[in-house]
Amino acid sequence: MTLREAVERDKGRRVFSSGSGSLDRMLGGGFRTGEMVEVFGASATGKTQLATQSTLGVASAGLSCAYVDSEGKFRPERLASMCESRGLDPAKILPLVYCIRVDDTQQQLAAIGMVNENENLRNCAMVVVDTVTRNFTLEFGGARALASRQTALGAYLNRLARDSYGRDRAVLLLNRVATVGQEEEAREVDIGGETIRHFVQKVVHLRRRGDDVYASLAEETREAEVRMRITARGLE
């Protein structure tokens, strides 16, 4: 396409709420079609809660959403309870959210084509991947396989990014963390690191302190954090 066509296409991008007002403000309105956002954090920081509730903004607009599940964490009953707590009808929302279970990298890659070919997902406006690196770390484990792992992950993300931009979809990538450094200097980093950063437009880091969850854009100071809490409605 020409540069003029690209500019015009970007003017028509849609934005869907994450389900959290404070997180939406940090993201500039929410999840934008044509872009990919990575959310990473340790266990119990609300990543799956956020992913589940993010499908509501899409489905409530009458559009379909694909939830690519590599962890086996997707729970339709949790989505139904979120609907009820937010005044939405589960009978209208659940049929628009499709779960695709992927157990290896080949299935994960094939899921992109499955979304495009499935008649019920032709108007799919969001793809959630929970989690993006699990299958790659299982199949390419250990330091010796690092180069192969990053190459395979990069090829997958390239395909996903191209699909997101060309088909006007928002993509939410959930990711695990690794800890680097020792004691006071220890810090959390997202698995896949720079390979993922080459393809995403925003990176959100979730941290939990007590009952509160804090979100910040990667590379920004702690003063830019927003505070949320996991409730019956999700991550608010």
User: Is-contact 35 164, C-beta < 8 A?
Assistant: yes
User: Is-contact 188 22, C-beta < 8 A?
Assistant: no
Phi/psi region, residue 93 (left: phi>0; alpha: psi -120 to 50; beta: rest), is alpha
Tokens describing residue 153: 């992950």
Residue 220 has pLDDT above 70, yes or no: no
Q: What gap in Å lies between CA 8 and CA 108, rounded to an integer?
A: 31
Report pLDDT digits (tens) over 38-47: 999 999 999 9
**Structure confidence at residue 78 (pLDDT):** 96
**Structure confidence at residue 8 (pLDDT):** 79
| 3-235, CATH topology level | Rossmann fold (3.40.50)
Nearest to 209 by CA among 89, 42, 11, 53: 42
Q: What gap in Å lies between CA 230 and CA 181, rounded to an integer?
A: 29
Mean pLDDT of 128-154: 95
What are the residue boundaries of the structural domains of the chain, listed by start? 3-235
Tokens describing residue 32: 């934008």
Mean pLDDT of 73-101: 96
pTM of the model: 0.94
Q: Which helix (H) or strand (E) element contains residue 187?
A: strand 187-190
